Amino acid sequence: MNQLRPIVQGCVDAPILTLDAPVSFWGGVDMETGRVIDRSHPQCGTLIGGYCLVVPTIRGSGGTPGNLAMTLKLGVGPASIVIGYPDVNVMAGIVVAKHLYASECPMFVASVEQRQRLLTGRFIRVDEDGSYTVV
């Protein structure tokens, strides 16, 4: 069975967007549009809103939680995040958005091998326990 490790529980049914490099929510993503604006990022110009965002890591600092929470509040943030490790700044942003804005964004940890199989353009369904299918 395919299994991700839930960090912030929830279910997701969304298209996959796998980023080729880490992205920063503090200056790398426009919090009003959800567009990657970091000119050095390989997917600069890409919108992240509504996607299951698959990344190895997130670049950034203490500004990440606020900016991620704002993208979720405005409806331009990811539907979920699949990441290589449980990033505390990402978790904080998701929890803030949930409690202040009633915005959901489940977060799951996945191995390198799992993330390599989560390809942009495919569709993923993840249950609260982390079991998933990709079509």
- Considering 24, 40, 61, 103, which one is annotated as catalytic? 61
**CA 33, 15, 81, 101 torsion: positive or negative?**
positive
Catalytic-residue membership of 24 = no
CB 40 within 8 A of CB 68: no
CB 84 within 8 A of CB 110: yes
Q: Cα separation of 115 and 122, whole Å?
A: 12
Active site residues: 61
